[in-house]
Amino acid sequence: ETGVTQTPRHLVMGMTNKKSLKCEQHLGHNAMYWYKQSAKKPLELMFVYSLEERVENNSVPSRFSPECPNSSHLFLHLHTLQPEDSALYLCASSQDLRAAQETQYFGPGTRLLVL
């Protein structure tokens, strides 16, 4: 185990549902990330938090809403998603956003299917 947990592991939702993905890291890290991974595509960085402050939002649609209540927890709130949002959503953490702290520790991911 990497020290990063994600729940749920699998999620099926309709386009009108509201759901949340949860990520927790037990590594004492200061930075947390959300990635989207679709088939045959590179990891797409969605959001970056450093010390609970959002430092990056990569043009992600507003139907994805992140929340970082403390440095150990990260949520991704989902509402009115589209079928093309179906993907593996990965949470990661790193010690910090500085040199020599770049290694990312990933959770197992949430496999999301939007019907």
Partner 1 sequence: SQKIEQNSEALNIQEGKTATLTCNYTNYSPAYLQWYRQDPGRGPVFLLLIRENEKEKRKERLKVTFDTTLKQSLFHITASQPADSATYLCALDRPGGSYIPTFGRGTSLIVHP
Please give the residue ranges that form the binding site for partner 1 (CB under 8 A).
Answer: 2, 4, 33, 40-43, 45, 48, 56, 88, 90-92, 97-99, 101-109, 111
Give residue for tokens 């939702």.
13
Q: Which is nearer to partner 1, 10 or 16 (CB)?
A: 10
- Among 108, 107, 61, 57, which Cα is nearest to 84's? 61
Which spans in the chain are helix H?
none
Q: Which is nearer to partner 1, 15 or 113 (CB)?
A: 113
Give the integer Cα–Cα distance in Å for 81 and 102.
Answer: 31
Q: At its nearest, how many Å lie between partner 1 and the CB of residue 114?
A: 17
Q: At its nearest, how many Å lie between partner 1 and the CB of residue 22?
A: 15
Q: At its nearest, how many Å lie between partner 1 and the CB of residue 27?
A: 12
Give residue for tokens 């430092």.
55
Q: At its nearest, how many Å lie between partner 1 and the CB of residue 45?
A: 7
Q: What is the DSSP letter of 84?
A: G
